[in-house]
Amino acid sequence: MQMIGFIGLGNMGRPMASNLCRKGFELLVYDINPQPVAALCDLGARRTSSVAEIAKTCDILITMLPNSADVEQVVLGSEGLLPNSRRGQLILDMSTIDPAVTDRIAARAAEQGVAVVDAPVGRLATHAERGESLFMVGAADADLERVLPLLKAMGTTIHHCGGVGTGGRTKLVNNYFCVVSCQMNAEALALAQRLGLDLEKTLTVLNGTTAYNGQLQLNWPNKVLKGDTSPGFTIDLAHKDLSLIVASANHNKVPLPVGTAAREFFSLARTGKHGQSDFSAILDVLCDLAGIEKPRLKA
C-alpha cells in the first residue's frame, strides 16, 4: 500500500484525513496545531515534525491549506515538498487557491517528474465528517486513477473537470455562486424582517419559486436561522475566495460588479470582528448595521 502524507488538518482536512485512516490508508500527518495531529494519531496515523519528512517518506502528498501563500510555501519552499521530492510522487492539493499558483506548481513539478492533481472540495465540514465531500478534480487521466481510491474514501461525488488547474477554476465559479447567494439572502431576509413578514412563510414562498437556492434551503436553516454561527466555512474564507474570484475575473477581463460589491461587504464584516463566524452570519452583520432584529426560525 502507498504511504500517504497529509498536510493541513483544519476544519476540512482533519475529518477528511480521519476518513482515510478509518478506511485503512497508512497516513503520515503534519499540522502546526498539535490537537488535530493527536486526534489523527488516535486513529492510527503517524505524526511528523516536518513537511520535508513527508516528501521523503510518502508516495502521495496531500495538502489542504487555507490560502495560496501557504500552499506555495509548503510545496515550493526550501523545506517543502518539491525540493525534497523524488520522481514518481504525486501532489494532491485540495486547497482553494489562485489558479496561477496551481499552474506554477504543476510546471515546476513536471520538471522533477512529480505529478500534480488539484481537487478542491465542495460541500461543508459536516459532509467531510460523514465522508460525503464533493471533489472538483483537475488531473491527467492516469493521475486521476491513482488518487481515485483516496477521493472515494473521503467523498461521494467526484467530478473530473479536465486537466490540472481546472478543478480550482471550477471551485472559484462554484464559490462565486455560494458566497454571493449568501449576500443576496441576507439582504432579502433583512428586508423581509423590516417589512414585518413571517420568516417561515417567506421561506416557503422563496423555496417554491425560482428564488430558490441551496444556501437558503439547505445551509441557513441549520446555521444562522437557528442561531448557530459557529464556523463551518468562515466569513474570512469567503472573503478570501471572493478576492481570488475577483482577481481572476480582472485578469481575464470579465466584469463582476455583483461579486465585487459582495466582497466589500464581507470585508466590512471582517472589520467588525466577525471573520471567524460562519459565512451565513453575514445576515446578522447586515441586521446589526440596519438595526433590525435577527431573523430566527421558531424552535
C-alpha 103/C-alpha 51 separation (Å) is 21
Looking at 23, 171, 201, 253, which residue is catalytic?
Answer: 171
Alpha-carbon torsion, ordered 71, 278, 154, 34, to 10 deg: 60
State which amino acid sits at residue 36: P
C-alpha 89/C-alpha 174 separation (Å) is 29
Grid coordinates of 65: 491549506
On whether the CB atoms of residues 12 and 44 are closer than 8 A, the answer is no
Written as one string, the DSSP assignment of 175-220 is HHHHHHHHHHHHHHHHHHHHTT--HHHHHHHHTTSTT--HIIIIIG
C-alpha 233/C-alpha 117 separation (Å) is 23
Annotation says 171 is catalytic: yes
Catalytic (active-site) positions: 171
